[in-house]
Structures are given as structure tokens and as C-alpha cells.
Amino acid sequence: MRYISRDTQATIDLNALVENYQYVASIAPQSNTIAVVKADAYGHDANLVAHALSPHVELFAVGFIDEALALRQSGIKNNILILEGPFKVSDFTIAHEHNFLLMLHSDYQIDWLLSHQPQLTQNIWLKVDTGMNRLGFAIDDIDNIISKLDTTTQQNLVLCSHFSTSEQITSRKPVEQLARLKPLVEKYSCQFSMANSAGIFNFPASHGDYTRLGLALYGISPTDNNLLTEQLNPVMTLQAKIIAIHQVEIGETVGYGDTWSATRTSKIATVAIGYADGYPRNAKSGTPVFINGRVVPIVGRVSMDMITVDVTDLTVVAVGDSVELWGKHISIDSVAKSSDTINYELLTRVSKRVPKVAAS
């Protein structure tokens, strides 16, 4: 057993996780919903998450093979799609041995594929650049690429692409991107995959054969203008304890840089979480936290191991009380907004120092 002195932790609600999966899958009933667990399952602990989902999910996706191997080592048997494909030619041998599906995006990967013996028996996923201009083959090059593949590979092809603006329900770009991919899908009568979380909610025409569900799986809405996302339930609750309470007089300051000063006699609680735990250093005074049923603001700068919170307005507050930084009561989006970042970054930055514990 690992000894835990400091009670700072991220609780992971695995029931909510499975419910989110089943709910989003029901929105795209004709598609195979891939559970994206890259980046340690968006900071939720990939082993915990993959084991909870594995009876419900056919296919997982990660960024690169190292992440997939870690899942295999923890006993996950499902097929795993490698979203960035092989980084080395030897990745093909590993993919062959472990049933990893490779998404190929560049000529050098096609050369590796063609030279590799024994040939991969898994489906090959080809990434098409439909307007993100980050990864993928140009539309005009696809005929040439596909002509190099043997017939079995051609028959088992999945064409895929990625949206650059799918969180904006009024954006025309996703419609254009899909219109660029679809003719190729029809020409080769192959399967296709386009939608990420926001695509699933905002652009049903993009559901295709496989959707790639990341953020919404973790109960966070990928778009703020779609009623369907209201049913999502946050999976992670980030919590820490109050370790000290100080009275601060008018004019006195709190924390590094003296950036906040009291305009009334204030009660300031010091909470055991800081930027070394992944709480954003950019969080401004006023960023909400949740204590004893009330929302209260952080004040002063975030330190490496601690934050300070104005609890003057709480009638009941004591050392040892639990503080929610985000989760069921504090939306991670409100923290992201007052820290000039996005929910994805906050989730994936919760550091190793914070234990991820399945909620009981």
C-alpha cells in the first residue's frame, strides 16, 4: 500500500465514465464509438479508465505506441488505434504482435508499411488532410497512395480526417472538410472516421463508421451551444484540504508578489494544492473553488504547493475541510476561463504527484 500523508487527490467516477460512453455512443448509434485514452486518459489514469470501459468498448485510441503498450501491460485486450501512427519502422513489428491499428499520415510511413514483413493483417487507417493542415495526405495524393497498397489492405482501408472547428456549431468549415473526404470514401467504398467529441454532437453527418470520443467521455462538454451535452457528467473531481486559516487585516497582502490585498478583515484559507500539482499558475484572483456547499474565490498568486482562498463569507470552515477545485460543483471551464487556457490542458496537466483514485 502506498502511504498517503497529503489528502490531495483526483477522484475518478468510473460509473459516470461508463454512462458518458454509453450516452454519447447512443447519439451516434450507427457508428463504432472509439474511446480515446491518450495522455493518460486525459489525465484520468489510462489503466483505471480502460479497465472500466473495456467490457463496453471495442476499440481504444492513443497517440503513440508507448501508450498502447502500457495498456497491454496492464491487461487490456481490446484493439488499440494509434492516432499518430508509427514513429519508427520497428513500430510495425510491435503493432503486428499486439493488434495495434496504425493511422498513417505521411509517405515515410507508407514506405515502412510496404517494406515490412510479415505484412500487417490489421486494418490500415489513412489520414487525409481536409483543412487542418497538421497531419495527413493531401486529397490529390490519395489515389497514388492507395494504388501502392495491396488489395487486402485496400479492401480494409479506413479513411479519416480531423476537424479544426467542430466545437463551433455555426462554423461552415466542418461541412467543407466532410465534403472533401466523402468523395474519396465513395470512390474507394471504404469506411471512414471524422468526428471527435464536438463533431459527434454538432455534425451528425460526420459520424461515419467510427467516431473518436475524447473529451466528452470524461463528462466535459466540447461545445457550449448544444443541449445534448447537458447530460454529460464530469468524471474527475480534483480535491485538496485546508491546511491553515489566517486572519488578514485591511491593507495586508496575501501570497507572492503581494498581488491581492484585503479590503475588509478577511479569513484566508490555505489549501494544499499548487501549480506543481497541475492547478494552473495563471488562475486569477476570483477563480472559484467549492468549500462546504459554497463557491468562494481564490485570492493572490498560486504557489507551487498551495493556493489561498477567501473564506470570510463562510460561516463554517475549519482546517481539514475539503476543497473542490473542479468536478461536480465547479466546472473545469470556469477555471480554464479565468486561467487563459482550455479544459483539455487543465485535465492533462494534473501531475503525477496527485493520486487518481476511483470514487467509491
Q: Is 304 annotated as a binding residue?
A: yes
Nearer to ligand PLP, 18 or 215 (CB): 215
Residue 246 beta carbon to ligand PLP: minimum distance, rounded to whole angstroms: 40
Beta strands in 63-105 (DSSP E): 79-82, 100-104
Length of the chain: 360
- Tell me whether residue 301 is annotated as binding: no
83 binds ligand PLP (CB under 6 A): yes
Residue 49 host element (H or E): helix 46-53
Between 213 and 252, how does the x/- string for binding to ligand PLP read (CB under 6 A)?
Answer: xxx------x------------------------------
Please state the closest distance from residue 37 (CB atom) to ligand PLP, in A. Answer: 10
Q: What is the closest distance, in whole angstroms, from the C-beta atom of residue 348 to ligand PLP in the complex?
A: 10
284 catalytic per annotation: no
- Give the SS3 label for residue 237: strand
Per DSSP, the three-state class of 111 is helix
Distance CA(320)–CA(126), nearest Å, equals 53
The secondary structure element, H or E, covering residue 212 is strand 210-213
The binder of ligand PLP chosen from 16, 27, 36, 296 (CB under 6 A): 36
Q: Which of these is catalytic: 88, 108, 148, 256?
A: 256
Q: Give the count of beta carbons closer than 10 Å to the beta carbon of residue 344.
A: 18
Minimum gap (Å) between residue 62 Cβ and ligand PLP: 9
Task: Show the binding pattern over residues 185-214: x = contacts ligand PLP (CB under 6 A), - = does not.
Answer: -----------xxx-------------xxx
Residues 149-188 as x/- pattern, contact with ligand PLP by CB under 6 A: -------------x--------------------------
C-alpha span between 234 and 21 (Å, rounded) = 12
CA angle 75, 76, 78 (to 5 degrees): 150
C-alpha cell at 203: 455534425
Pairing of strands 32-36, 210-213: parallel
- Catalytically active residues are 38, 256
Residues that bind ligand PLP (CB under 6 A): 36, 38, 83, 162, 196-198, 212-215, 222
